[in-house]
Amino acid sequence: MRIVGGQWSGRPLSAPKTEATRPTTDANRETIFNVLLHGYGFEPRHALDLFAGSGALGLEALSAGAQTVVFVESERAAVQAIEKNATSLGAPTTAWRIVRNERIHEWGAQLKKCGESFVPFDLVFCDPPYEERFPERTFRALEKTPEIFAPGALLCVEISTREAAPELPAGWKALEQRSRGTTQLLFYRRGE
């Protein structure tokens, strides 16, 4: 794995040594950031990486110019991989945080506590374990603290091609879908 664009382009990333995570491939990250940066002309400021795994998506956002990123991850090996990757890239410690919690219903309150230097998020990644309907459950829970999202925020959800697109709360509008192999990349925008 490596960073595919921005200031750290080509730099290697470590994957967690666990079966509990499935890192987003370099090709899928390249597709995601081509859509975000070139398709929508989007320049991220505050990113949120849900089910972060290695932290590759959030670190890619920092490499592309985001000021901050918050990683949400519960697996110990994945948290260690995020810390190792952020440190090896030289990401300033003031630019990233890790929220370690497996109880989705608590995430919104914890994210809100990250403070105004990290919130509201204008870019959100959701790359959960496949085929468990996590995007729907996650965003129903996070909508209890809607102030953590900036108006017009962009969201990228990665799911299996065997899954139906998630039914997200009314605040999110589907923009487009891309398929690569066994993966679907779904893009949404939050209402203004």
Q: Domains in the chain, please, with CATH? A: 6-10+22-116+127-164+185-189 (3.40.50.150)
Block residue for tokens 């995007």: 135
107-140 confidence digits (pLDDT tens): 999 999 998 899 999 999 999 988 778 999 999 9
Average pLDDT over residues 70-99: 96
At residue 20 the predicted structure's pLDDT band, cuts being 50, 70 and 90, is low
Listed residue (167, 169, 166, 172) closest to 192, CA to CA: 172
Torsion of Cα atoms, 30 then 33 then 39 then 41, to 10°? -150
- Are the beta carbons of 127 and 24 closer than 8 angstroms? yes
Instruction: Work out the percent of the chain whose per-residue pLDDT is above 70.
Output: 99
At residue 192 the predicted structure's pLDDT band, cuts being 50, 70 and 90, is confident
Helix (H, G, I), strand (E, B) or coil at 5: coil
Q: Which residues are within 8 A (CB) of 58 and not within 5 positions of it... i.e. 6 or more apart?
A: 47, 48, 49, 52, 69, 70, 71, 82, 96, 125
Question: What Rg, from alpha-carbon coordinates, does the chain have?
Answer: 15
Provide the residue type at 155 as one letter: L
- Helix then strand then coil, in percent of the chain rounded to 5, is 35, 25, 40
Mean of per-residue pLDDT scores for the chain: 93
Average pLDDT over residues 31-57: 94
Residue 78 pLDDT > 70: yes
Whole-number pLDDT of residue 150 = 96
149-160 confidence digits (pLDDT tens): 999 999 999 999
Residue 95 pLDDT > 80: yes
Handedness of CA 76, 126, 150, 27 (dihedral sign): positive
Whole-number pLDDT of residue 180 = 87
